Structure 1
Amino acid sequence: MKNLSWRLIAVLVVIIMAAVFILPTASMYIKGTSEPEIWPHKKINLGLDLQGGMHLVLEVQTEKAVENAMSLKISDIRQALRKNTMKNRGVVLVDQSAKLHVKLLSADDLPAFRSIIADDFPDLAVTSASESGGITLVTLAMKTDEAERVEKFAADQALETIRNRIDEFGVSEPDIRKQGENRILIQLPGITDTKAAKDLIGKTATLQFRLVDEEGDVRAALASHAPAGSELLNLVRKDPATGAESATPMLIKKRVLLTGDSLTDARVLFDNMANEPYVSIEFDRKGAHIFGKVTGANVNRRLAIVLDDTVYSAPVIRDQISGGHAQITGGFTMEEARVLAIALRAGALPAPVKILEERTVGPTLGADSIRKGIWSMLIGGLAVIVFMVIYYRGSGLIADVALILNVLLIAAGLAAFQATLTLPGIAGIILTIGMAVDANVLIFERIREELNLGQSPMAAVEAGFDKATLTILDANVTTLIAAMVLFQFGSGPVKGFAVTLGIGILSSLFTALVVSRLLFDSILHKANVKTLSI
């Protein structure tokens, strides 16, 4: 009776816990209501293949990160040249390359320049030096190991930045992981606005504050080229009535006065005067100090707010702005302003990303998959239930009760661990239904052997469970190890299958060895059974 008592308590506790975890899902799908707010957990999450959504494979253009890192070296190298009084014609980034060209006016300075690079810029190397027309052209490139480190860091940082953006976008249970060295797999279940999601994920969000070139001639720059120190960028405006965009070319100084790295917050506010939303940004202490100095030194000049090489606004500085606040306007819709604010808060991507693969799974297809999956579970489960009753008669009913409880425990496990149920996961549940009665079959055959040897029903049940337990544990533990390996090294559908298989194995062990034994002992003790229906 002591064994009966602890088994009864264990089963009751597990059943109550399972009911608690299943309740939000049951109320969602049976009654059509939202999950009860009193529960601290959520309903079972459905994967991309069940509720529809978006599948993307991105490639991080890591070579651009190396190029950006090299461009940041330009001002430092220029400063080093001035410090060592080396006459030069400038330091420029070679187009479409992660190399720098340094033009020295004296070949005698070359040994000293090599020494400066070796001492002050250990991550750079002089790859070539040639003299032409009295100018020594020196080519600098990043060392291979340093370039590999920058590329790896760019891919890792892009992964984290995209994850932060998607978390703020409000997608439930996104699947975001690296594939290879520079690719990122993204699955967004339940997403409906795919365009907004792509815009948010792919936006580099490099925010810069630069002065407008007031002296330059835009027409002349369009006809030939921009003056030294400036470049042509477009000021983009959108008509709120028609949604049509217009681009006005502007000459913008290349020198960056302040970047978005100093941002601490970005939020959407509404301008009642202009009747349109805008993005309010806030700087940290250092950024606020720099912004105050920039605005104070350039009163009555236009300051361009540049995001991803597009000018969003270029207001005239009327006075010094010392509060560390600024506004980005541009004829946004509320959704566009929200996406921009999220991108700025999550930080800039270290390198551009390219969409290599895009698939959209419609909710209709997902609903159809759920319906077919449930039908396959019901039909498979019913077939197993009928077989057990026919073959093992009364004892088969005990196995069927354990089987039904096993399915409920799997559902509770998915909700408790906030695992995601996928179509292969449903296949794992169906497989578990067959495996769950497998343990009962081993136990029942052992009981039959003991009964054939003349044992009493009580002794036969006890011997049957004792002799079959080790065999059941061996078989299920090895399968559980396989499920753990699939979960650790698999991805997508494989991982979904491994989740339900692993939870199913643990629940089937509990129902076969504890629940079935409890039912047998309860019947044999209370009913005083002389013969066993098996």
Structure 2
Amino acid sequence: MSTFLIIWLVASIIALAATIIMQAERRVVELVLILSLAAFATWVSLPNNPGLYIDINGDGVGEIDRDVEIRQGLDLAGGVQVLLETDLDEGQALPDGALDEARRIIESRIDALGALEPVVQVRGERRIIVELPGYEDPESAVELIQQTALLEFVDFGPAANSLPLLPGTPVETNFEGRPDSEIEDIAEEEPLVPAIEAETVFTGDIIQNADIGFDPTTNEPVVEFSLTPEGRQLFGDYTAANVGQPLGIVLDGILLSAPTISTAITEGQGVITGQFTVDDATQLATQLRYGSLPIPLRVDSTSTIGPTLGQISIEQSIVAGVIGIIVVMAFMLIYYRLPGLAATLALLIFAVINLAIYKLVPVTLTLPAITGFLISVGTAVDGNILIFERLKEELRAGKRIGPAVRAGFDRAWASIRDSNLSTIIICFVLWSFGTTFGAGAVRGFAVTLALGLAINLFTAVIVTRTFLHFLLLPVPEKTIDEQPWLFGLTKKAA
């Protein structure tokens, strides 16, 4: 755990304990919590943040161990864009739902790559577009997207024990699901190694889950898998009937390994070895876990979007955001005076809480997402304006400052709540639309706007009211006749 986080937690606990012991007012407790939250959010928002590390058990393994940084989308960070097209004969019809199923599988594989906010969407009747923000290796991305990862468990027949079953040996099977050209391609790549004929017993369809593991003896990467209930029964029956025989594990026509069956395997779990690197094992596990593509796809185009445009966009967005916030703060201070000061402080806390959540969730920032944040700043100010106008009405009606502040917040709350919640509902509709149709820009806009609106319900009411309470402590029982300048009023109350 970082030193700053420890200090913050200890200080917060001490402050809260002292508050309770002294039986302080509820506003003091609120102020302590608000300032503590603001301090933590500011720390998270700082550039080059060291990240969060919390070791609860004290065993040296952090239960919480993660980087805290801004994730940028394709338009800001650059990345890879791949356009795929179905590779079918002219006039051949697509099976119903095949393109959507291919999109789902590709999206699952891309998620395993660690790409930030990947966009995988269907374009037209035969195309799929894939966008990988922050990804710098287009070749491996294309390979993972296209590869079908045909895994076969094969039987080499009676002469199995006399065959040279070495990893990397081409294997020709009777499985009809493999394209005819695949063995020819293998032969071209490995011309000095003759292919071994074998009979396919099972395919990767019997695998329910797969993940990377490490051999406890050699510490080499392996792929651990578990079987479906049906696959467990088939695997158990086959291994029981073939004890002492090798079982070949073949990936895309290449022998990975051929372990000898020493006993019946009925637990429904197994390990694939094959002199993998960590990346190879991870990729194979991903392909087995998410299945093969239902239709062949070819790459129509691949483009790498550089970070230069992204950097320019970031700088322009930051400048626009800073200018906008400064103008809003200046307006609030000039027009509303003391309440405007409270709103300005609340707006600063609103901004750092938003940024902290973007880092912690994390939220991928794109230009539409930044637009959503800037609009949420406007809604935050709208809430304060509504409150302060109601406050002025109460003051003009002759109420003292303290009761007028309470009445202004209480009567404006319902309008602020209803307007923000209705917009959040619209954001949910936009997010659903973006998720269903692969419109990542719409989804990013909806997420940041909804977060801003939710945070505004806290900052515009609770934070602003708490700050205003302490700013007005010297004058709670005065009337607007005595202090008109505090609220930007020039006329005395009637």
- Report the TM-score when normalising by structure 1: 0.62
Deviation by residue 1:292-323 (Cα, 9 ceiling, x = unmatched) = 967978x9xxx987644xx43599x8x96547
1:385 is matched with 329
1:412 is matched with 356
Change beyond 3 A, Cα 1:449–1:342: closer
- 1:56 and 1:357 in contact (8 A); partners too: yes
Match among 36, 41, 46 for residue 16 of structure 1: 36
Pairing 1:464-479 to 2, within 5 Å after superposition: 464-479=408-423
Change beyond 3 A, Cα 1:467–1:328: closer
Q: 3-state SS of the aligned residue for 1:205?
A: coil
Structure 2 Cα separation of the partners of residues 248 and 234 of structure 1: 13
Q: 3-state SS of the aligned residue for 1:418?
A: coil
* Shift, 1:459, TM fit: 3.8
1:54 is matched with 80
Structure 2 Cα separation of the partners of residues 380 and 248 of structure 1: 68
Amino acid at match of 2:459: T
- 2:41 and 2:353 in contact (8 A); partners too: no
1:256 is matched with 200
Structure 1 Cα separation of the partners of residues 326 and 175 of structure 2: 77
1:495 is matched with 443
Change beyond 3 A, Cα 1:433–1:307: same
Pairing 1:220-259 to 2, within 5 Å after superposition: 233-234=183-184, 236=186, 245=189, 247=191, 256-259=200-203
Pairing 1:1-400 to 2, within 5 Å after superposition: 5-10=25-30, 12-17=32-37, 19-20=39-40, 23-26=43-46, 29=47, 32=48, 34-38=50-54, 39=64, 43=68, 45-49=70-74, 50-56=76-82, 58=84, 151-152=96-97, 158=102, 161-175=105-119, 186-208=130-152, 209=154, 233-234=183-184, 236=186, 245=189, 247=191, 256-262=200-206, 286-287=234-235, 290=238, 307-308=251-252, 311-313=253-255, 321-322=261-262, 335=279, 339-340=283-284, 342-344=286-288, 346-355=290-299, 358-400=302-344
2:59 is matched with none
Higher strand proportion (structure 1 or 2): 1
Amino acid at match of 1:46: R
* Shift, 1:395, TM fit: 2.8
- 1:21 and 1:416 in contact (8 A); partners too: no
Structure 2 Cα separation of the partners of residues 247 and 292 of structure 1: 36
- 1:164 and 1:346 in contact (8 A); partners too: yes
2:470 is matched with 522
- 2:118 and 2:130 in contact (8 A); partners too: yes
Q: 3-state SS of the aligned residue for 1:522?
A: helix
Q: 3-state SS of the aligned residue for 1:507?
A: helix
Deviation by residue 1:118-164 (Cα, 9 ceiling, x = unmatched) = xxxxxxxxxxxxxxxxxxxxxxxxxxxxx96xx43x55664554455
- 1:465 and 1:513 in contact (8 A); partners too: yes
- 1:22 and 1:43 in contact (8 A); partners too: no
Structure 1 Cα separation of the partners of residues 351 and 226 of structure 2: 53
Quick check: 372-381 or 518-527, which moved more? Answer: 518-527
User: Which stretches in structure 2 are left out of the alignment for 5+ residues?
Assistant: 1-23, 55-63, 160-171, 488-494
* Shift, 1:385, TM fit: 1.2
* Shift, 1:367, TM fit: 3.2
* Shift, 1:471, TM fit: 3.2
Structure 1 Cα separation of the partners of residues 30 and 44 of structure 2: 23
* Shift, 1:432, TM fit: 1.8
* Shift, 1:410, TM fit: 1.9
Amino acid at match of 1:197: A
2:483 is matched with 531
Q: 3-state SS of the aligned residue for 1:234?
A: helix
2:365 is matched with 421
Q: 3-state SS of the aligned residue for 1:256?
A: strand
Change beyond 3 A, Cα 1:8–1:334: closer
* Shift, 1:428, TM fit: 1.4
* Shift, 1:375, TM fit: 1.7
- 2:122 and 2:129 in contact (8 A); partners too: yes
Quick check: 361-370 or 418-427, which moved more? Answer: 361-370
Structure 2 Cα separation of the partners of residues 426 and 314 of structure 1: 48
Structure of higher CA gyration radius = 1
- 2:82 and 2:299 in contact (8 A); partners too: yes
Structure 2 Cα separation of the partners of residues 404 and 158 of structure 1: 45
Deviation by residue 1:59-88 (Cα, 9 ceiling, x = unmatched) = 677x89xxxxxxxxxxxxxxxxxxxxxxxx
2:378 is matched with 434
- Report the TM-score when normalising by structure 2: 0.66
- 2:380 and 2:460 in contact (8 A); partners too: yes
Change beyond 3 A, Cα 1:410–1:236: same
* Shift, 1:413, TM fit: 3.5
Structure 1 Cα separation of the partners of residues 242 and 248 of structure 2: 12
* Shift, 1:438, TM fit: 1.6
Q: 3-state SS of the aligned residue for 2:200?
A: coil
Deviation by residue 1:256-297 (Cα, 9 ceiling, x = unmatched) = 344334567686999xxxxxx997787966447647967978
**How many residue pairs end up in the alignment?**
413
* Shift, 1:193, TM fit: 1.7
* Shift, 1:206, TM fit: 1.0
- 2:372 and 2:446 in contact (8 A); partners too: yes
* Shift, 1:405, TM fit: 1.3
Structure 2 Cα separation of the partners of residues 282 and 468 of structure 1: 58
Change beyond 3 A, Cα 1:334–1:478: closer
Deviation by residue 1:183-211 (Cα, 9 ceiling, x = unmatched) = 66544332222211221121001123476
- 1:403 and 1:511 in contact (8 A); partners too: yes
Q: 3-state SS of the aligned residue for 2:412?
A: helix
User: Which stretches in structure 1 are left out of the alignment for 5+ residues?
Assistant: 65-95, 99-146, 215-225, 239-244, 271-276
Root-mean-square deviation (CA, aligned residues, Å) is 4.7
- 1:258 and 1:290 in contact (8 A); partners too: no
